[in-house]
Amino acid sequence: MGERKRLFLLVLIMTTVSLVVAGITIYVLYGTAFEQQRERLVEAAQSQARLIEAIARFDAARAQTNPESYPGGPAVATLSQIIDAHSHYKGFGETGEFTLARRAGDDIFFLLRHRHFDLDQPKSVPLDSELAEPMRRALSGLSGTVVGLDYRGETVLAAHEPVAELGFGIVAKIDLAEIRVPFIRAGLMAICAALLVVFVGAVVFLRVSNPIVKRLEERTAELSRTNQQLGLQIQERKEAEEALQKAHSELEQRVQERTAELLQANEQLQQEIEERKRAEEAIGKTEEKYRLLVQNLPSVVYKGYQDWSVEFFDEKVESLMGYSSDDFHTKGLKWSDVIIEEDLESVQKEFVEALKKDKSYVREYRTKTRAGDILWIQDRGHIICNDNGEIEYVSGVFFDITMHKRAEEEQALLRRRLEALWEIARMTDASHQKLCDRVLTEVLDLTQSRYAFYGFINDDESMMTLHSWSKEALESCQVIDKPLHFPIMDAGIWADAVRERKTLIINDYKEDHPKKKGLPGGHVPLSRLLVVPVFSYDRIVAVAAVANKSTDYKEEDARQIDAFTTNVQAIMESQQSREALTKSEEELRILSSQLLTAQENERARIARELHDGIGQSLSAIKFRLEDALGQMGEDVAESSVNSLNSLIPIIQSTVEEVRRITMDLRPSTLDDLGILATIGWFCREFQETYATVRIEKEIGLEEADIPESLKTVIYRVLQEALNNVAKHSGADSVTVSLTKRDDTIELTIEDNGRGFDLNEVLDIDSSKRGFGLGSMKERIELSGGSFSLESTRREGTNISASWPN
């Protein structure tokens, strides 16, 4: 009977397991079907919403150009098209449908519910009711899915999506009961099937197991008989054990005797073991020192063989390379497998050369880590050979020199960039086009790219003007009528660097991008693109772009271009400033020269008018008055004669004053007799006026040696210098020197006056220190000469001017 219970319990367990497995399976399938239905509803709702928005935008655009075709407005036309399209739509499943609604006050007004055939006048639902939960979410601008009550009060799975263009909401839904029904049916069927199978199985199992149970009972009886026989055998075994115990006692005595002998031998072995332990401890300490030494070395110690197999003596190789020692010891990985293929030949060559020489080597090469990174190492090793000269193994260490190599590469790039900047800075006479071409050459070299262009951005960053293409791009490009001006807002993806004001890197140009507008016919094909905006005072002034590098562009490439082009832009701006300054100075020099010429011409004109007009008139008045006085008779009153006689010296004084003013404005001797005679006349006039000042003249050239353009300049400098001597110096001696030396005309005015501090005078505001020194310097430099002023307190002043002849 016990066997029957166990069989019944087994059937019950099988039934339970079957039902649990069926339940789990149906639950998983239900969850999968639920997710699929939800995704289908989301896709349907979103596609319908986007389609309606597209129709609404189309109708709105048409209504602007053709309003008479939309008497009720574009929104009404759009809604009419949607209702008409859905009037023939039967939905999906038994309860699946689309609903379209809008918010009207505090109600939800349904515009479309095709499943229940009320397309023309659908009913509304209060906004604050528990019904139409999915549509309430859609009209609130939410997008997603929800399980809730629809406008009928039925629990549904719904996807809701707002229609932004019209302010509508769209819901794609299906009754939750429709989703569940197939799985409920399947569950019931599975339960029934499981019960049936279990029942049939139990019946079959009972029929099959009955003979087995009978055989088990027969076997039990047989075992009982066997057990009795075993009892007899046990008795016999006890008797044998007693005999064995006796033999054991005898054996134990012999063992004790033998043990005494073994103890003596053991003591000797113990002494040997102690000595061996002490030796092993010494060896262990040595090995520990060696292990710590290897671990603390900034290198990896290895032992290798001629076939490139290798053993590592420390674990740093794994942290450095990503490969463990086991990868090399047991997995067949060889050192040649991690060396970069391009470097393997040179590594082998250095090994052969070391074998021919002193069997030691130091070599640097690149390896590839497990993660795929490039690791530079310096390998220092020694080749160990046997007596026959055959290679036994190679031992050595290698160091990670990646940072050192990167620093060298960075330094090389910096040096190359600085050399390029220096060369560009020296191109002071180069045209703008040549400078741009030079920039492109360096940018291509810095990034190892194939194509490049360089363009300038206008002040409002709305237009790029192309200034330079790389040579290969020009040769390969077949575009007809290549444009030079590109509006930024209408340009393709490259203009994102300007629009977003940051570097643009595209390493797979074939990928889709919303800003890509395609390449014009004949344009060079692009695989990779790097565009860097060039800033100057927070304004983008230029764009540098490179393309089709053989490997991916990285931030380092962008940084190199940015650093280079920013410095180039500073050089260009500096050159432009210098050119503008030079042009301004040239214009100012020409203007000043014209002003001085005009001033001299005006002086000469006024002097002529004074001399030929007022001067001659006064002379005529004087002569007439003297003639009139000579013809007067004795009958004229003496008082009248005296009055007239008193006018003659006044008129004479006025004539002399006019002559003095005329000579001050422009001495006639300068035009009639030349500069040398004018210098002599002016020095005499100065000494007559300032009798305490002695003037020494040193004239070392002829009148013909002095160009006409310099005569006025020399006179005005001399005039201003001697006026300054009279007003400020307090000197009693002045030396005036005009000589010619090595085709150079030199003018020097030197006095022994009180002198002055040049720094103090030059620090005074120009409006307060007068125009004496400034006018002299300006006249001399405008005439192509050089001006020099030296002065020391209590030692006098020296003014020098020289002109190449």
CB 786, CB 804: distance < 8 Å: no
Residue 45 is predicted with a pLDDT of 83
Angle formed by the axes of helices 638-665 and 555-609, nearest 10° = 150
Q: CB 350: neighbour CB atoms within 10 A? A: 16
| Helix, strand and coil in the chain, % to nearest 5 | 60, 20, 20
β 733-741/694-700 pair status: parallel
Tokens of 738: 């005009």
What pLDDT was estimated at residue 766?
45
Residue 698: φ, ψ to 5°: -125, 100
Alpha carbon distance 694, 732 (integer Å): 6
List CB contacts of 497: < 8 A, sequence separation 6 or more: 503, 504, 531, 532, 533, 543, 545
**Residue numbers of the chain with a pLDDT score lower than 50:** 116-117, 290, 293-294, 766-771
Number of H helices, E strands in the chain: 21, 22
Q: Is the dihedral of CA 32, 35, 39, 45 positive or negative?
A: positive
Q: If phi over 0 gives left and psi between -120 and 50 gives alpha, with beta otherwise, what is residue 388?
A: alpha
Give start and end residues of each alpha helix (H) in 72-169: 74-86, 133-139
Closest CA to 494 of 536, 549, 532, 459: 532
| CA–CA distances in Å: residue 324 to residues 270, 328, 330 | 41, 7, 10
Average pLDDT score, the chain? 76
Q: What's the pLDDT at 763? A: 54
Show the tokens assigned to 146: 């929800």
Tokens describing residue 43: 């896709």
Sort strands 168-175 and 155-163 into parallel, antiparallel or unpaired: antiparallel
360-368, strands of its sheet edge to edge:
310-312, 300-304, 391-400, 374-385, 360-368
| Cα separation of the two ends of the chain | 144
Distance CA 300, CA 318 (A): 10
Cα 548 off chain centre by:
18
Question: Would you list the DSSP string of 468-528?
Answer: EE-HHHHHH---SS--SEEETTTS-GGGHHHHTTS-EEES-TTS--TT---PPTTPPP-S-
**Burial bucket for residue 492 (CB in 10 Å: 0-12, 13-18, 19+):** middle
CA distances from 74 to 56, 58, 62, 101 (A): 7, 9, 8, 17
Which 8-state DSSP code applies to residue 331? S
751, 795 contact by CB (below 8 A)? no
**Residues facing residue 169 across a β-bridge:** 101, 162
Strand partners, 310: 304
Helix (H), strand (E) at residue 162: strand 155-163
Question: For residue 735, what pLDDT is reported?
Answer: 92
| H or E stretch at 540 | strand 539-547
Selection from 721, 737, 750, 747 nearest residue 803 by Cα: 747
- Which domains occur in the chain, in start order? 2-180 (3.30.450.20), 300-400 (3.30.450.20), 431-549 (3.30.450.40), 554-666 (no CATH), 673-804 (3.30.565.10)
| Residue % of the chain over a pLDDT of 70 | 71
pLDDT of residue 533: 92
Cα distance between residue 476 and residue 672, in whole Å: 73
**Which one, of 532, 409, 539, 370, lies nearest residue 461 by Cα?**
539
Give residue 162's pLDDT: 92
pLDDT of residue 685: 84
596: left (phi over 0), alpha (psi -120 to 50) or beta: alpha
Strand partners, 397: 301, 380
Q: Residue 771's pLDDT is what?
A: 39
